[in-house]
A and B are shown apart, each in its own frame.
Chain A
């Protein structure tokens, strides 16, 4: 019988298979950041162990790093200690690190792909749930806890429980103004925050194949929000073109050998998925969340749902709690929801295409009075590219704040936070209570919706702006 993409990558990494034991898998690439690694390095030290493969390990600083005044000492002493701890651990154990101020610094899931380290058919792990991002390259990539970080540092392997496979087939063309973000938000609302539990998702179909690498990363990034072990997309010409010439992409004969291997990384025609769902891309519209988990979403054209409309009692209670926390009334059109802040950035939507899309919407316009718009590039490289294209000027001319690279307001571990009660349209991945700051309220949106929302001051799509473009002309 044929095998799925995920099964092929898994099989190629089994170090040891024994009855009654989890398979021991080899890890090709281990990404580290400051938050989930200190206790792992402590564990190594206590046991007198080394990092087995420093040449397959790389660290960057992202969660705690400030996005302004990066040349000054970090104000929060606890953040500073955490960053210093990573620097010390990297030096002691011989791990390559990109610290604040380095040209390769940035959000770990933006840095790996742009360096060309994330490659098809590899296993990629990081102590960070959004490691699923790297599945966009046909890698088997998943987030791990700190105990597993220590395990990978010490052994370059992980014992892993078997997974099930789910195909998410998206056919047709995405309508104008509908993005990868809208697609993944719609998928999560459809299958729920636990719908992917135990599964590796494979996104396929014509709509997926036509996505750029940046857009594919947006889709795979949020696989975890559906509870999935990982999300993957089969590598193709788009993938190879993205990788060729990047610093760590294979070169010469190695490139040819790699491509020959990568081309085998497709689900066989006779492979069977444990579960399949189908989505018609042509029916999708801009999608936003109204609640406090990523599965509580609706088309932008819809209204805040009535909790009573949920048949499942736990979903009903969750909706009631969410509306209370979000300060929303059932039946309010989502387009009437006013915001205080807009955040463009994160490992979900902090890449160059995302910044281009947001800039195109705000260009020649102004951020609405009373709205604060933060634009945070996913990495220094993304920032430099954006500056070269003049996007930073577009944002600042519109009244937005152009910041330094990092995780920033996606989770507010640095000073970029919402005040209690503030409402934000955010291109990030989680609308959990307090995620962007204590008492803050988050609506997950695409970069285009974020930008249109910043201009109008309420949740909106770029199409809502077309009237005033004509007026200006």
Chain B
């Protein structure tokens, strides 16, 4: 995972609630067996509409998605995160994220920032009025900054530390391998095993 410290970029204001992961990346894209190449599938159905915000030329190259509440509901597909990243997004801001999507995003270095809905509304207003307006997402300071707006956000210390350092969860866990082995030695014999039974 790449480190995330601070990011500045233009925004795409997406005024829609309950954007589920089927909208972010439709199921037929999930047949791919790689983590890349999902950018054309991002919001595929909506992009067929020329007036969709992502199709507007002034939004080309934007890297911060300003999403409505309940972003990322539904399927656990991590492809939704890859699609956003493949397209070029570095951060998503919303007042509410679905749990699995949020977990997936933070494991891939896509920073999902929780801000109060009224702050999201202000950022929407700012970036709708001025597509060139830039937003800075500063993980070190835990702060989102834009013209006339400074908003602090919360993020678990441990998650932040992993993002700032670009650390891989598995290698962190494997440092505690003796704990896992010790736990395994205490598991009751009645626990299920998947090996074929006679």
Contact B192 A29 (CB under 8 A): yes
| In contact, B74 and A430 (Cβ under 8 angstroms) | yes
Which of chain A's residues has its CB closest to B196's CB? A96
CA distance A129 to B32 in the complex (A): 19
Smallest CB separation, B71 vs chain A (Å): 10
A225 cross-chain contacts in B, Cβ below 8 A: 74
Given known A157-B180, A254-B190, contact A193–B81 (CB-CB < 8 A): no
CB distance from B38 to the nearest CB of A (A): 11
Q: Is the interface of B mostly helix, strand, loop or mixed?
A: loop
- Taking CB atoms, residues of chain B closer than 8 Å to A28 are 191-192
| A56 with B194: CB separation less than 8 A | yes
B194 touches A58 (CB 8 A): yes
A265 to B: closest C-beta gap in Å = 13
Q: Of A139-147, A203-211, A366-374, which binds chain B? A: A139-147
Task: Pick the most buried of A54, A229, A248: most chain B CB atoms within 10 A of its CB.
Answer: A248
Q: Is A15 an interface residue (CB 8 A)?
A: yes
Of listed A16, A127, A129, residue having the most chain B CB within 10 A: A129
Please state if A194 and B70 are interface contacts (CB–CB under 8 Å).
yes
Distance in angstroms between the alpha carbons of A143 and B98 in the assembled complex: 12
Partner of A122 from B76, B79, B96, B191 at Cβ < 8 Å: B191
> A413 touches which one: B30, B81, B176, B187 (CB < 8 A)?
B30
State whether B174 touches A15 (Cβ < 8 A).
no
Whether the Cβ atoms of B170 and A433 lie closer than 8 Å is no
- A370 and B48 alpha carbons, distance in the complex (Å): 30
Asked whether B169 lies within 8 Å of A159 as measured between CB atoms, the reply is: yes
Known: A78-B32, A432-B74. A314 touches B107 (CB 8 A): no
Interface positions, chain B 142-198, Cβ under 8 Å from A, are 156-158, 169-170, 172-174, 176-177, 179-180, 183-184, 187-197
Q: Is the CB of B173 within 8 A of A39?
A: no
Contact in complex: A144, B76 (CB < 8 Å): yes
- Give the residues in chain B near A96, CB-CB below 8 Å: 194-196
Residues of A within 8 A of B193 (CB): 55-56, 248
Within 8 A of B (CB), among A15-49: 15-16, 20-22, 24, 26, 28-29, 35-36, 38-39, 42, 47, 49
Contact A227 B70 (CB under 8 A): yes
Check: B9 CB closer than 8 A to any chain A CB. Answer: no
Collect the chain A residues with CB atoms within 8 Å of residue B169's CB: 147, 151, 159
Known: A119-B192, A250-B190, A411-B27. A227 touches B33 (CB 8 A): no
CA distance A36 to B172 in the complex (A): 23
From B16, B76, B81, B172, give the contact of A143 (CB < 8 A): B76
In the complex, A465 has a CB within 8 A of chain B:
no
What residues of chain B lie closer than 8 Å to A117, measured between beta carbons?
A: 192, 194
Of the listed stretches B17-25, B56-64, B84-92, chain A binds B17-25
**A150 is an interface residue with CB less than 8 A from chain B:** yes
Task: State in angstroms the CA–CA spacing of A321 and B104 once bound together.
Answer: 28
Q: Is the CB of A434 within 8 A of B190?
A: no
Q: Which residues of the partner chain A approach B98 to less than 8 Å between Cβ atoms?
A: 194, 197, 227
Report the nearest A residue to B34, measured CB to CB. A39
Q: How far is the CB of B160 from chain A (nearest CB, A)?
A: 11
Residues of chain B lying within 8 A (CB to CB) of residue A295: 18
B35 CB–A CB distance under 8 Å: yes
Nearest-neighbour CB distance to chain B for A162, whole angstroms, equals 10
Q: Mark A395-431, 1 if CB is under 8 A from B, else 0.
A: 0000000000000000111000000000000000010
CA distance A283 to B46 in the complex (A): 39
Nearest B residue to A254 via CB reads B190
C-alpha spacing A258/B18, complex, angstroms? 42
Interface flag for A257 (CB, 8 Å): yes
Interface members, chain A 244-292 (any B CB < 8 Å): 247-248, 250, 254-255, 257-258, 261, 292
Whether A248 contacts B190 by the Cβ 8 Å rule is no
User: Which chain A residues (312-327) contact chain B, with CB distance < 8 Å?
Assistant: 314-315, 317-318, 321
Q: Is the CB of A39 within 8 A of B194?
A: no
- Which of the listed residues B15, B76, B170, B172 has the most CB atoms from chain A within 10 Å of its own CB? B76
- Interface status of A91 (Cβ within 8 A of chain B): no
Q: Is the CB of B68 within 8 A of A314?
A: yes
A116 x B180 contact (CB < 8 A): no
B45 and A434 within 8 A (CB): yes
B132 CB to closest chain A CB (Å) equals 26
Instruction: Report A-chain residues with C-beta under 8 Å of the C-beta of B180.
Output: 15, 24, 26, 52, 155-157
Does A169 have its Cβ within 8 Å of any Cβ on chain B?
A: no
Are A24 and B173 also in contact (CB < 8 A) when A129-B75, A194-B69, A413-B30 are? yes
B170-A155 in contact (CB<8A): yes
Residues 104-150 of B at the A interface (beta carbon under 8 Å)? 104, 107-108
Within the complex, the shortest CB–CB distance from B181 to chain A, in Å, comes to 10
Instruction: Please name all residues of chain B whose beta carbon is closer than 8 Å to the beta carbon of A318 when the two chains form the complex.
Output: 16-18
A-B contact pairs, 14 of them (CB 8 A): A35-B77, A63-B30, A117-B194, A144-B76, A145-B76, A146-B79, A257-B188, A411-B27, A413-B31, A430-B20, A430-B22, A432-B74, A433-B45, A434-B22
Q: Which A residues have a C-beta under 8 Å from some C-beta of B?
A: 15-16, 20-22, 24, 26, 28-29, 35-36, 38-39, 42, 47, 49, 52, 54-58, 63-64, 76, 78-79, 81-82, 85, 96, 116-119, 122, 127-129, 143-148, 150-151, 154-157, 159, 161, 193-194, 197-198, 224-225, 227, 229, 247-248, 250, 254-255, 257-258, 261, 292-293, 295, 314-315, 317-318, 321, 411-413, 430, 432-435, 438
5 A-B pairs with the lowest CB-CB distances in the bound complex, closest first: A145-B104, A38-B33, A145-B78, A258-B190, A143-B76
Which residues of B line the A interface, CB within 8 A? 15-18, 20, 22-23, 26-28, 30-35, 45, 68-70, 73-79, 81, 96, 98-100, 103-104, 107-108, 156-158, 169-170, 172-174, 176-177, 179-180, 183-184, 187-197
